[in-house]
Structure 1
């Protein structure tokens, strides 16, 4: 009996060490644009607080091993000190996922949010409740935590990230009374947090999520087995974006997709056959005309 108790105790302690929170988040705070007498130590404290908040919060009910943590990075650029411990700037969020049987990590999210204003006092604790809006700093951070999770899950199962997209949308809904920009339908055009989740969950934009799944799981994850077959799958995956591009040309969601994938697509098809190069350039001219100049590297 004592042996069983000892075994159970060791197992629980081991599980606590092995199964951790979901994100492996790196945080950078750039405050080069802040001049004058502002106490720069506040930004070191901000970095520590954001790191702890992102990496120690339990965002899901899933069990993640250390190896399964999602690698992501948050770059916060402080552009102005508005007084009263209030700052404004931007936040850039990127994430990637490992490619099966490879040391390569593929980028799946790259988004820059220009509407980031928040209040932060030294030694303050970052607190968050998904059912209510408490402050802009933790709401924005939590929103992007769920976007990172949602995007990652979408690459492993068809529409796999829906639950987390919905959680991000709930944060948007709770923030409708906030003074800060980026949360409302009518603010900042259609390149804000409201429209990212609103569009993602609409059937019209399903092609982007279907592409993310097919491109990554059926395409890249099989690259080691046969590059030719993998490229064919990726070509077919990109065709799923054509209806989205035709219905909503230059949409924010498409821009977010190509911010992450454009350079990778170029590198993949540089090694393709002449027929593949012709085909992918034809598709890309329809779905991402803004990248036309860059895509010429494929044929060059």
Structure 2
């Protein structure tokens, strides 16, 4: 009987290795600004959030271990409001491998300044899909679906719609929440407006850009450098047309916070006409990074296997 039990454990471990969850999410929590607190609480919180993000099944798809989506979440705790209530910020980063290369591109690099949650050590973390009964799990689930949606959009035209809709449902469920970040009137740059911009059909050029930039652009650059780079340049025209109609959309800083440095690397190895066209687009729709984009005028070769 003992040998049979051992075999069963090995079998179950083997199954878990074959069918992995979707995310490989690294969680970091900094609590250095909170003095006199029990540090074990923050270590337990980090472990619980890691398990919540990585061991929950977020889709109906089957992933291998090496297919899991790489992402990072950094939580900066600034204030302990009460024994189980914390405020701070949360940075979410998403990376995606480029086909046929060792290079990984950043898809998302977003800072959420409205991290305000309750956390009770050793209490089970339960996410309710029909209401915001726990702001911490609702917030984490929201970004899990944003991560999935962005990743799927980069591989297929509007491939992430199902997951963006799930993120939108969390926003809808949170309209009566006492916590900030979920409502339209609170800010022009929060969770409400992020998902509203992504799913708004009038702004579909953004999602078209995500697909064209990554699947038709970066994924081709390993074998067909100039063709892939040209597709990326054309993807920026989609953003330019959108910008001329709605210049203040939240999705613009979201895109360029992730892509500004990469765009410099990609187009500094281009030919003069393409450099000038891309520079004109970037200076129009992302003037805050204008000094950075001046480096495109330099001549540097972008190597997907050495970045």
**TM-score, scaled to structure 2:** 0.91
SS at match of 2:100: coil
- Separation in 1, partners of 2:55, 2:203: 32
Deviation at 1:84, TM superposition (A): 3.2
Aligned to 2:256: 258
Q: Does 1:169 align with 2:168?
A: yes
RMSD: 1.4
Alignment partners' CA distance in 2, 1:257 and 1:250: 13
Tell me, yes or no, if the aligned pair for 1:22 and 1:58 is still in contact at 8 Å.
Answer: yes
* Aligned-residue offset at 1:250: 3.5
With over 3 angstroms needed to count, the CA separation of the structure-2 counterparts of 1:286 and 1:26, relative to structure 1, is same
Query: 2:126 matched to which residue of 1?
Result: 127
2:79 counterpart of 1:80: yes
String of CA shifts for 1:163-185, please: whole Å, max 9, x gaps: 10000000001111110000011
CA distance in 2, matches of 1:11, 1:51: 24
Give CA-to-partner distance per residue, 1:95-123, whole Å, 9 cap, x none. 01110000111110111100010011111
Alignment partners' CA distance in 1, 2:290 and 2:248: 13
Deviation at 1:140, TM superposition (A): 0.3
Deviating more after overlay: 47-56 vs 287-296: 287-296
Distance of 1:56 and 1:129 partners within structure 2: 16
Deviation at 1:17, TM superposition (A): 2.1
Q: Deviations over 1:18-62 (max 9, x none)?
A: 111100000110112112x21111110110000000000101111
Task: State the alpha-carbon separation in 2 of the partners of residues 248 and 145 from structure 1.
Answer: 27
Q: Is the 8 A contact 1:185 1:194 kept in 2?
A: yes
Residue equivalent to 2:198? 200
Unmatched runs of 5 consecutive residues or more in structure 2: 1-9, 299-307
**What displacement does 1:279 show?**
1.1
Paired residues, what number? 289
Contact 1:190 1:252 in 2 (8 A): yes
1:75 counterpart SS class = strand
Matches within 5 A, 1:61-140: 61-140=60-139
Q: CA deviation at 1:15?
A: 4.3
**Distance in 2 between the 1:203 and 1:166 partners?**
13
Q: Which residue of 2 aligns with 1:7?
A: none
C-alpha separation in 1, matches of 2:75 and 2:68: 22
Work out the CA distance in 1 between the residues paired with 2:268 and 2:240: 22
> d(CA) in 1 for partners of 2:13 and 2:288?
52
Q: Partner residue of 1:4?
A: none
2:105 match: secondary structure: strand
Report the secondary structure of 2:192's partner residue.
helix
Q: Map 1:168-187; keep pairs closer than 5 Å.
A: 168-187=167-186
* Alignment-derived partner of residue 288 in structure 2: 290
Instruction: Kindly indicate whether residue 184 of structure 2 is the aligned counterpart of residue 148 of structure 1.
Output: no
Q: Is the 8 A contact 1:250 1:288 kept in 2?
A: no
SS in 2 for 1:20: coil
Q: Secondary structure of 2:231's match?
A: helix
Q: What residue number does 2:19 align with?
A: 19
Stretches of structure 1 that go unaligned for 5 or more consecutive residues are 1-9
Q: Secondary structure at the match of 2:37?
A: coil
Q: Distance between the aligned counterparts of 1:293 and 1:130, measured in 2? A: 44
- Give the C-alpha shift of residue 204 in structure 1: 2.0
